[in-house]
Amino acid sequence: MSLTYQPFADAPVVQELRKDLDMNISDNERIVSGLVGAILVGVALVGGRIGKLLLVAAGVALVQRGMRGQCEWYRQLGVDRRHVKG
């Protein structure tokens, strides 16, 4: 047995905890990001040609941010809004 043996590493509870610890935005922020992203994509698809690609890109990025619960800008700045010490 090596020193890095982790008998519970594949347990579902550990995987869920690892997923939560990887997130750095709050649940409310995830919801708002997803909604605003979906609205931007919808507006871009319905609207005119000006700025359509930019709106779709921003919308998709926000939807992805909301689904993953991770913000790369926050990670670079060392911000963690999900695990705030109270």
Contact (CB, 8 A) for 70 and 24: yes
Average pLDDT in the 13-18 region? Answer: 78
Contact partners, residue 38, CB within 8 Å, separation at least 6: 59, 63
Average pLDDT in the 62-86 region? Answer: 87
For residue 86, pLDDT beyond 70: no
Average pLDDT in the 61-78 region? Answer: 90
Secondary structure, 3-state, 36-69: HHHHHHHHHHHCCCCCHHHHHHHHHHHHHHHHHC
For residue 1, what pLDDT is reported? Answer: 53
Average pLDDT in the 35-48 region? Answer: 87
For residue 33, pLDDT beyond 90: yes
Angstrom distance (rounded) from CA 34 to CA 40: 10
